[in-house]
Structure 1
Amino acid sequence: MSSESIEVRKNAALDRFELYVDGYLAGVAAYQDTAQERAFVHTEIYPQFEGQGFGRKIVQGALDQTHDEGFGILPLCPMVHHFVESRPDYLALVPQWSRQRLGLPQQ
Structure 2
Amino acid sequence: MPERERFEARDEAGALAGRLTYQLTGAIVVYTHTEVDPQFEGQGVGSALARAAMDDARAKGRTVVPICPFLSGWLDEHREYETLVARSTRKIK
Instruction: Give the TM interval when normalised to the shorter protein.
Output: 0.7 to 0.9
Q: Which has the bigger relative contact order, CA under 8 A and spacing at least 6?
A: 2
Amino acid at match of 2:3: A
- Please list the CA deviations of residues 46-94 of structure 1 after superposition, one character each: whole Å capped at 9, or x if unmatched: 1111111111111111111121111111110011100112221112211
Q: Which runs of 5+ in 1 are unaligned?
A: 1-10
1:99 correspondence with 2:67: no
| Alpha-carbon distance in structure 2 between the residues aligned to 1:83 and 1:91 | 11
Q: Does 1:54 align with 2:45?
A: yes
Report the AA paired with residue 83 of structure 1.
W
State the aligned residue count: 91
Matches within 5 A, 1:15-34: 15-22=5-12, 23-34=14-25
Percentage of matched positions with identical amino acids = 34
Aligned partner of 2:3 in structure 1 is 13
The TM-score with structure 2 as length reference comes to 0.87
* TM-score, normalisation: structure 1: 0.77
Aligned-pair Cα RMSD in Å = 1.6
Over 4 Å off, 4+ runs: none
Larger helix proportion, structure 1 or 2?
2
